[in-house]
Structure 1
Amino acid sequence: MTDGQAEHTIQTLEDVLRACVIDFKGNWDDHLPLIEFAYNNSYHSSIVMAPFEALYDKRCRYPIGWFELGEVALIVPELVQEAMEKV
């Protein structure tokens, strides 16, 4: 990773965290797993795919899809959808 790529990653994470602090107020840190999930499953032009896809060689199944398939869900779908839209 070059310095420019590291700077871009840091700036992106700062922007996302800033938005979460504003939107989620006092309990923004409760949403860190969702922030990590969104970041790891978003497209990165430097690797031409999402980090999850690069690591596991397949796309991630989003929590919203868990409900559609009738699997056990750990996260309320409305919360996940809202977080994904904000990030």
Structure 2
Amino acid sequence: MVERVNRTIQNALPKCIKDNQLIWTDALPGIIFAYDTFLHESLKFTPYELMYDRKAKQAYGIDEEENIDPYNVPEADLESCFQDTVSRINDIHEIAAGNIDLAQLKQQRDYRSRNAGRNNNYLVNDQVLIWNSRRADRKGGKMTRPWMGLYTIFRILKSNVELMNANGSILKSKENICNIKHYFARKDDKNSEVVSYNEELNAQVT
């Protein structure tokens, strides 16, 4: 969670300071305030509301009449005021937790609807390519080929497939159906754009 927040702040800083990097400390409070007051799509609350049980106000949005000293509360009412605030914050946290559960269910339904019947598009002995997961690596994976192959479907399971390489050997690990795609050979191309996993590794070593 902390790494995700830091990454969001790091992405926002260059947009605010542009070429003048020396003013990043001046831009940081505004970026943090914008993050704290941004409505979270899943939570349905802002981080500021979850922390303080109220919506944030910018300085120009506060009238002098509204600027009441929060500590100017009779001592007899401090305990009840504190308990009421804690109770409201707990209620907000419960609502936010329920919203997260609903968002996760929606994501699961969307995932199932997108991938429903995908295994019906593949048959045994179909030639496929495997998505190169190294491209998602931060250490130069973008320079590798997006797809690896050529492989043949040996067996179709519920959401995975067993693949066989060109030598007839079955791969030890099963591949998720979401990570493969059909391979259609072109008449003027004899696998020139296809590279096997072993060839990819050998090319990187050399």
TM range (shorter): 0.5 to 0.7
Aligned-pair RMSD on alpha carbons? 2.6
Say which of 44, 47, 70 aligns to 2:64.
Answer: 70
**Larger proportion of strand:** 2
Q: How many residues align?
A: 65
Mapped partners of 2:34, 2:28: distance in 1: 10
For structure 2, list consecutive stretches of 5 or more residues without a partner in the other structure. 68-206
Mapped partners of 1:11, 1:36: distance in 2: 12
The ranges of structure 1 where at least 4 consecutive aligned residues each deviate by more than 4 angstroms after the TM superposition are none
> Higher RCO, 1 or 2 (CA under 8 Å, sep at least 6)?
1
Instruction: Specify the alignment match of 1:39 in structure 2.
Output: 35
Larger radius of gyration: 2
TM-score by length of 1: 0.56
Mapped partners of 2:35, 2:57: distance in 1: 14
Mapped partners of 1:11, 1:33: distance in 2: 16
**Larger proportion of helix:** 1
Q: Is 1:13 aligned to 2:9, yes or no?
A: yes
Matches within 5 A, 1:43-58: 43-58=39-54
Mapped partners of 2:23, 2:7: distance in 1: 22
